[in-house]
Amino acid sequence: KTESGIDLLQRLSVRPKLIGLQTEVFGENGPQPGDVIEISEKNTNLKTVLLTQWIIRCILPSIWKGIQIGGLEVGVVFLSTDHHFSLLNLVTVLERTLKRNLRQYHEFLPASGISIVEEIVKDSLKRLSVYESFNKTELLFNFCSTKTYILSHPKSSVVMLDSLSAFYWEDRLS
Protein backbone atom coordinates (compact mmCIF):
# COMPACT_ATOMS: atom_id res chain seq x y z
CA LYS A 1 0.00 0.00 0.00
CA THR A 2 1.32 3.44 -0.87
CA GLU A 3 1.19 6.31 1.57
CA SER A 4 0.15 9.82 0.61
CA GLY A 5 2.11 12.87 1.73
CA ILE A 6 -0.73 13.84 4.06
CA ASP A 7 -0.74 10.36 5.63
CA LEU A 8 3.04 10.53 6.10
CA LEU A 9 2.84 13.93 7.78
CA GLN A 10 0.07 12.68 10.07
CA ARG A 11 2.07 9.60 11.02
CA LEU A 12 5.26 11.55 11.71
CA SER A 13 3.77 14.54 13.49
CA VAL A 14 3.91 14.55 17.25
CA ARG A 15 0.72 15.70 18.92
CA PRO A 16 0.39 16.90 22.50
CA LYS A 17 -0.63 14.15 24.91
CA LEU A 18 -3.84 14.15 26.92
CA ILE A 19 -2.23 13.02 30.16
CA GLY A 20 -4.58 13.69 33.07
CA LEU A 21 -7.62 14.61 30.96
CA GLN A 22 -9.96 12.82 33.34
CA THR A 23 -8.12 10.22 35.36
CA GLU A 24 -11.36 8.66 36.67
CA VAL A 25 -12.27 7.71 33.10
CA PHE A 26 -8.97 7.35 31.21
CA GLY A 27 -6.42 6.65 33.95
CA GLU A 28 -3.23 8.66 34.50
CA ASN A 29 -2.04 8.50 30.87
CA GLY A 30 -5.29 9.76 29.37
CA PRO A 31 -6.61 8.67 26.01
CA GLN A 32 -3.89 7.56 23.62
CA PRO A 33 -3.38 8.84 20.06
CA GLY A 34 -5.84 7.18 17.73
CA ASP A 35 -8.27 6.22 20.50
CA VAL A 36 -11.93 6.53 19.61
CA ILE A 37 -14.19 7.15 22.58
CA GLU A 38 -17.92 6.73 22.18
CA ILE A 39 -20.28 8.32 24.68
CA SER A 40 -23.74 6.87 24.60
CA GLU A 41 -26.23 8.64 26.82
CA LYS A 42 -29.97 9.08 26.42
CA ASN A 43 -29.78 12.40 28.25
CA THR A 44 -27.96 14.58 25.71
CA ASN A 45 -27.49 17.32 28.33
CA LEU A 46 -25.17 15.07 30.37
CA LYS A 47 -23.14 14.24 27.28
CA THR A 48 -22.87 17.92 26.37
CA VAL A 49 -21.75 18.82 29.91
CA LEU A 50 -19.07 16.12 29.80
CA LEU A 51 -17.80 17.23 26.37
CA THR A 52 -17.76 20.86 27.56
CA GLN A 53 -15.67 19.89 30.61
CA TRP A 54 -13.23 17.97 28.42
CA ILE A 55 -12.94 20.86 25.96
CA ILE A 56 -12.22 23.30 28.80
CA ARG A 57 -9.56 21.05 30.29
CA CYS A 58 -7.94 20.62 26.87
CA ILE A 59 -7.89 24.27 25.75
CA LEU A 60 -6.85 25.87 29.05
CA PRO A 61 -3.13 26.64 29.35
CA SER A 62 -1.13 24.61 31.85
CA ILE A 63 0.57 27.76 33.20
CA TRP A 64 -0.29 31.42 32.60
CA LYS A 65 2.34 34.03 33.48
CA GLY A 66 3.74 31.79 36.22
CA ILE A 67 0.33 30.82 37.62
CA GLN A 68 -0.65 27.15 37.56
CA ILE A 69 -3.91 26.85 35.60
CA GLY A 70 -3.97 23.07 35.13
CA GLY A 71 -5.08 22.84 31.51
CA LEU A 72 -3.54 20.65 28.83
CA GLU A 73 -2.99 23.46 26.28
CA VAL A 74 -4.22 21.25 23.46
CA GLY A 75 -6.21 22.19 20.38
CA VAL A 76 -9.72 20.78 19.97
CA VAL A 77 -11.80 20.46 16.84
CA PHE A 78 -15.50 20.14 17.64
CA LEU A 79 -17.91 18.93 14.95
CA SER A 80 -21.49 19.69 15.92
CA THR A 81 -24.38 17.97 14.21
CA ASP A 82 -26.90 17.89 17.07
CA HIS A 83 -26.41 21.58 17.88
CA HIS A 84 -26.62 21.08 21.65
CA PHE A 85 -23.19 22.62 22.15
CA SER A 86 -23.22 26.28 23.19
CA LEU A 87 -20.11 28.41 22.87
CA LEU A 88 -21.66 30.93 25.27
CA ASN A 89 -22.13 28.18 27.85
CA LEU A 90 -18.55 27.00 27.33
CA VAL A 91 -17.21 30.53 27.92
CA THR A 92 -19.39 30.93 31.04
CA VAL A 93 -18.15 27.64 32.52
CA LEU A 94 -14.58 28.49 31.47
CA GLU A 95 -14.74 31.87 33.26
CA ARG A 96 -16.25 30.27 36.38
CA THR A 97 -13.54 27.60 36.40
CA LEU A 98 -10.79 30.19 36.04
CA LYS A 99 -12.18 32.45 38.78
CA ARG A 100 -12.34 29.46 41.13
CA ASN A 101 -8.79 28.35 40.24
CA LEU A 102 -7.35 31.87 40.50
CA ARG A 103 -8.82 32.67 43.95
CA GLN A 104 -5.77 31.21 45.66
CA TYR A 105 -3.54 33.63 43.72
CA HIS A 106 -5.51 36.79 44.50
CA GLU A 107 -2.56 38.51 46.21
CA PHE A 108 -0.39 37.98 43.12
CA LEU A 109 -2.98 39.21 40.64
CA PRO A 110 -3.46 42.85 39.71
CA ALA A 111 -6.60 44.59 40.95
CA SER A 112 -8.15 43.93 37.56
CA GLY A 113 -8.30 40.16 38.06
CA ILE A 114 -11.19 40.04 35.62
CA SER A 115 -8.93 41.15 32.77
CA ILE A 116 -6.63 38.18 33.47
CA VAL A 117 -9.62 35.85 33.22
CA GLU A 118 -10.56 37.50 29.91
CA GLU A 119 -6.98 37.15 28.63
CA ILE A 120 -6.87 33.45 29.48
CA VAL A 121 -10.32 32.86 27.95
CA LYS A 122 -9.30 34.58 24.69
CA ASP A 123 -6.04 32.64 24.59
CA SER A 124 -7.83 29.36 25.31
CA LEU A 125 -10.48 29.90 22.65
CA LYS A 126 -7.73 30.16 20.03
CA ARG A 127 -7.25 26.43 20.58
CA LEU A 128 -10.89 25.61 19.79
CA SER A 129 -12.33 25.23 16.32
CA VAL A 130 -16.06 24.53 15.98
CA TYR A 131 -17.65 23.24 12.78
CA GLU A 132 -21.46 23.15 12.49
CA SER A 133 -23.09 20.65 10.13
CA PHE A 134 -26.76 20.90 9.22
CA ASN A 135 -26.83 18.04 6.72
CA LYS A 136 -24.70 15.05 5.73
CA THR A 137 -23.05 16.95 2.85
CA GLU A 138 -21.82 19.65 5.23
CA LEU A 139 -20.62 16.96 7.64
CA LEU A 140 -18.54 15.31 4.91
CA PHE A 141 -17.13 18.69 3.91
CA ASN A 142 -16.31 19.43 7.57
CA PHE A 143 -14.53 16.08 7.90
CA CYS A 144 -12.29 17.09 4.99
CA SER A 145 -11.76 20.56 6.48
CA THR A 146 -10.88 18.99 9.83
CA LYS A 147 -8.10 16.93 8.26
CA THR A 148 -6.60 20.04 6.67
CA TYR A 149 -7.01 22.03 9.89
CA ILE A 150 -5.28 19.39 12.02
CA LEU A 151 -2.36 19.16 9.60
CA SER A 152 -1.82 22.92 9.83
CA HIS A 153 -2.29 23.07 13.64
CA PRO A 154 0.21 20.69 15.28
CA LYS A 155 -1.10 21.48 18.79
CA SER A 156 -4.51 20.02 17.90
CA SER A 157 -4.89 16.57 19.41
CA VAL A 158 -8.62 16.10 19.86
CA VAL A 159 -11.52 15.78 17.46
CA MET A 160 -14.98 15.59 19.04
CA LEU A 161 -18.15 14.81 17.13
CA ASP A 162 -21.63 15.33 18.57
CA SER A 163 -23.27 13.24 17.17
CA LEU A 164 -22.36 10.69 14.53
CA SER A 165 -25.94 9.43 14.30
CA ALA A 166 -27.48 12.85 13.56
CA PHE A 167 -28.07 12.14 9.88
CA TYR A 168 -28.67 8.40 10.17
CA TRP A 169 -32.37 8.49 9.31
CA GLU A 170 -31.87 11.03 6.53
CA ASP A 171 -29.34 8.65 4.99
CA ARG A 172 -31.39 5.56 5.70
CA LEU A 173 -34.57 6.92 4.10
CA SER A 174 -32.87 8.22 0.95
**27/18 Cα distance (integer angstroms):** 11
Q: What is the pLDDT of residue 123?
A: 96
DSSP H or E segment with residue 7: helix 5-12
The confidence band for 119, taking pLDDT boundaries of 50, 70 and 90, is very high
pLDDT exceeds cutoff 80 at 65: yes
128-132 and 156-162 beta bridge pairing: unpaired
CB-based contact 153:13 (threshold 8 Å): no
Which residue type sits at 118? E
Are 131 and 80 spatial neighbours (Cβ–Cβ below 8 Å)?
yes
Name 134's Cβ contacts closer than 8 Å, sequence gap at least 6. none
3 pLDDT exceeds 90? no
Q: What is the DSSP string of 52-100?
A: HHHHHHHHS-SEETTEE------EEEEEESS----HHHHHHHHHHHHHH
